[in-house]
Amino acid sequence: MQSCTIRTATAQDMLAVTSIYDHFVRTSTATSETFTPDLIEMQRRRRAVLDRGLPYLVAELEGYIVGYSYASQFRPRDGYRFTVEDSIYVRADCIGYGVGRKLISALIAGCEAAGCHRMVACICGENPASVALHHSQGFAHIGTMPEVGFKFGQWIDMSIMQRPLEAAQGVLHSSETDAASACLSACR
């Protein structure tokens, strides 16, 4: 397989992205969704990620979208704004060729440039390929939440992995930087 190009997803890419996601919704526990969102919803989700200044990326090979990844705020409260959760999906016939590795590397770099502090991976069900991919990128296993999802007539565990990010300098406001420095000093 030739090398793919990683770039920011456009509205025109979202039909292919929706198709890739549909495969995982219908056939795996990699996502807890049980119905595939339509194109309009997938476009709305992309726009929400980009509007937060976070990356939404696609892997393109010979004019075809073969995978996508994005980061979203880990939890909705403002205090979590520097922690992101990753999502990575690769077209079924392209798994095992390094597409996921290129996507996650670019996603990490994009989140660091955006000033993010931590990246979390919530891996649903049995997904040893995703665990291995994340581990290869410096993620550590934090824990497992047993039976938190239900799909295909079975309870699904969720593994939590996390890695630190090297936030770009100058992203935090000075008062936040001062507070963070004071906290670090107090905790030493």
Report whether 88 contacts 100 (CB < 8 A).
yes
Closest CA to 56 of 107, 124, 120: 107
Instruction: State the residue range of the domain holding 23.
Output: 5-187
pLDDT mean over 18-41: 96
Pairing type for strands 154-164 and 118-124 reads antiparallel
Query: Residue 83 belongs to a domain with what CATH number?
Result: 3.40.630.30
Please write the tens of the pLDDT for every residue from 92-141: 999 999 999 999 999 999 999 999 999 999 999 889 999 999 999 999 99
CA 128 to chain CA centroid, Å, is 16
Phi/psi for 85 (5° steps) reads -115, 135
Q: Which of 56-65, 142-151, 165-174 has the lowest mean pLDDT?
A: 165-174
Note the pTM of the prediction, 2 decimals: 0.87
What Cα–Cα distance (Å) separates residue 179 from each residue in 2, 83, 135, 182, 185? 48, 17, 32, 5, 10
Any residues with CB less than 8 A from the CB of 26 and at least 6 apart, and which? 36
Count of domains in the chain? Answer: 1
Please write the tens of the pLDDT for every residue from 46-88: 999 999 999 999 999 999 999 999 999 999 899 999 999 999 9
